[in-house]
Chain A
Amino acid sequence: MSFIDTIVQGVLLGSLYALFAAGLSLVFGIMRLVNLAHGDLIVLAAFLLLVLVTGLGLHPFLAALVAAPLMFGAGWALQYVLLNRTLGKDVLPPLLVTFGLSIVIQNSLLEGFSADSRRISAGALETASIGFGPVTVGFMPLLGFLSAVAVIVGLNLLIYRSAIGRAFRATSDDAVTAGLMGIRPQRIFAMATGLAMVVVTIAALYLGTRANFDPTAGPARLIYAFEAVIIGGLGSLWGTLAGGVILGVAQTLGAAVNPEWQILAGHLAFLAVLLIKPRGLFPRAVD
């Protein structure tokens, strides 16, 4: 196995982690809410896709198009009805509530889908690959990478170039003064979580077609997402992409040396970055 190939596969894996992390980063950036159920929401979206694919016979990409607005609505309602009530000066209530939500989602999925490992079949696309000189890249992982970049570019455009993005940033700065401008922070937060759930749906598409998942797979995804966000620096979406890639490359390099070291190598890279730059690689200038 060539060194370049390992790096490329690591970048592709890392872009999946960046997709896991983008929604988490968005929600944290706007309302300082750490959603401990984020990984479980990704798994929930994967099961939703599974139902659409196996139940209705939809192609996974079409299923994602159907699932995205459903997940947006679910995220909007979750934030508006439940999570908005937990926001305040105290950081503990959101942690407790989302931790509880994580358990509720896992158990509901266990109840509904049993503990079996599942997989979303993407048909012939699964085995398709493209050769770039010495390196061969799977079609789906490549698409996942391009999607991750597109998600980051799209979110950046939305946040820095649109009226709703201005409202996001203003509310994040100062919710009371935003209210004086006619912005309703509760709705802005609901919109942000809805958007995060659209990103979660995209992440679930590539999670479900790439690997097996089961109802308890969420927390591990959350860890990778967290590490990607922290490595990149809180509040920076490009940093989150970089963080995911660093994590992915570290894991594949570790696995190349010894397959048992894959997960450990990722965590070590995370700790190393924290040691050198405790605020992450690209922390936001204004905090």
Chain B
Amino acid sequence: MTALLETRGLKAFYGDFQALFGVDISVAKGETIAIIGANGAGKTTLMRAISGVLASDPDAILCRGKPIGALAAPDILAHGIAMVPEGRRLFPSLTVEENLLIGAYNRRGCGTWTLEGVYELFPVLRERRSNPATALSGGQQQMVAIGRALMSNPELLLCDEISLGLAPVVVRDIYAAFPRIRASGASIVIVEQDIGQALKVASRVYCMMEGRITLFGRSEELSRDQIHAAYFGAERHELH
């Protein structure tokens, strides 16, 4: 079966600095995977490469077997891959509702997600719909960022560090929405520093260090020790 998304030996560069050294991951349809690792491990770079913000080799990223590595961000979105960027990156000149509507700018088909659907997922956003997006609390802003990405009706949702800087109780609220996002048929890639949260949400986990995958396997089969070793440096482990 062809994976929804696959990277093959993905390399990424910032100028002369190489940030990814041959990363292989795959996401099946309907699957939720997590990418964990310390700061500077290359998780965000991987997200930026997949979403088309960073250019890569055409064949290094495949969507249903089709090479998409060289496409720009709007074309990646047209393939059904939407991103919740690190730091939320809401548009400060736009209201909450306008931010959500921007997500539907190049909407694909007539999928499940509408303004109404997002307000049902995150009811607090309905009350704050006319506020400037940046006037909201961090957690509410994160909800807007997720809702904005959903508005494009993605088949694959990339979530980059959505719990960063948020209180644990707020993080729990946000992750509580994930079963419904999954139920809409979307596959999800989450990038997390919180290992516990990642193992809880994802069925498979990749651990990154220094631009490489150092460990991967099914969430329930990975031990804390293995993850600890992969996180902070050890040999490569593989579990299936």
Contact = CB atoms under 8 A, between A and B. Distances in A.
Interface string A145-187: 0000000000000000001001101101110111111111000
A180 B105 contact: no
B52 A163 contact: no
B38 interface: no
A286 interface: yes
Chain A interface mostly helix, strand, loop or mixed? helix
B124 interface: no
Given A169-B93, A173-B92, A181 B52 contact: no
A286 B93 contact: yes
Contact of A180 (B77, B92, B94): B77
Interface string B140-165: 00000000100010000000000000
B214 interface: no
A199 to B, nearest CB: 21
B32 interface: no
Contacts of A180: 51-53, 73, 77, 82-83, 85, 89
Contacts of B89: 174, 177, 180
Contacts of A177: 85, 89, 91
B93 A173 contact: yes
B103 interface: yes
A179 B101 contact: no
A172 B101 CA distance: 16
Interface in A241-286: 286
A172 B93 contact: yes
Contact of B94 (A173, A176, A183, A184): A173
B74 interface: yes
A183 B106 contact: yes
Interface of B: 51-53, 72-74, 77-78, 82-83, 85, 89, 91-94, 98, 101-103, 105-106, 132, 148, 152
Given A170-B102, A182-B77, A183-B105, 16 more contacts: A166-B102, A169-B91, A169-B93, A169-B98, A170-B94, A173-B91, A173-B92, A173-B93, A177-B89, A179-B74, A180-B53, A180-B77, A180-B83, A181-B106, A182-B106, A184-B74
